[in-house]
Amino acid sequence: MASSFWLKIFKKPFSVLILVSSVALVILIYYLCFYQNKYLLKTTLPQQKILIVNSILPLWQITNFLTSQKIENILLIQPTDSEHNFQLKNQDMINLQKASLVFYLSKNLENLLSKLQQNLSLHHKIKEISPDVNFKLLPNNWHLWLNPHNLILIARWQTKQLCSIDNNNCYFYQENLQKFELQITQEVNKINNLFLQHNSNKSIVLLHDAYNYFFDYFKISNTIVLSHHHQSNMQIKQLHNLVNQQNNISCLMAENNHLSAQKLATTYGLQYQNLNLFFTNQAQNPLSYGLWQMAQQISICL
């Protein structure tokens, strides 16, 4: 019965045409529906951004500049917290687990992240910068971002890491790296010209040795460091002895609006300048602008 039915159909050319057309129409409708759904799925579901966690503010600021918000960038340790004894919160652990990469400077600075690097689930994503980069280092001092050349080395390292996980945007990151290097270099030239105008034999007393990175880079050697830890208190006797021994001290420089330092400067007739380890300005490149601001403060004392 079935074979005779199809035989009758195929004997009529018009019927064959209708059958073929019907089959073709069904295939076309299926094809269009399938690919339309696939397209809608692509366009309606938001693509998950790459997540980078940075330990400290300078690293976070460099990542921001390089990526221009193409990725999600999270700061782990706020500038008001100490990187030496930072304690993780629950949300921090969630962010670390979700992160594509975690950048930190050195086990000598952010010791907690060095310990977390031993965690098998985090080991592959936590990246310590210092072993991979030939930084200009000062003894027992890891505040190396205050040296402009070190900032450029960090940016180059970060660009390489970003390209390794996001090759589609690698060219974009490399272009921003060139802009970053240019801005830092231009700022360095401005600072050198500024210091040439204020060359003197006056000495500057520094509460904290972290700023030696800046002074060393710009070859300002007439500095005296009172403390090698930014949380230690100055002894009045220390400053008193210095003032008695040297009569060319012009300034006392500290951080966080250090009240004891301000009182001591007033007592001994010295200028007081408040410096910051982290640059919290809102400039497009807060690091280059922060270097310039620091130079302006220092030039007052030269």
Listed residue (210, 179, 195) closest to 288, CA to CA: 179
With pLDDT > 70 as the criterion, what percentage of the chain qualifies? 80
302 vs 74 pLDDT, higher one: 74
Q: Phi and psi for 38 in degrees, rounded to 5?
A: -65, -40
Q: What does the pLDDT look like over 263-291, one tens digit per residue?
A: 888 888 889 999 988 998 888 899 999 99
Q: What is the mean pLDDT of residues 200-223?
A: 89
Domains for the chain: give ranges and CATH numbers.
51-189 (3.40.50.1980), 190-301 (3.40.50.1980)
**Closest Cα to residue 74, out of 90, 96, 52?**
52
CA distance 218 to 134: 19
| pLDDT of 69 above 90 | no
Q: Which of 1-10, 43-52, 159-168 has the highest mean pLDDT?
A: 159-168
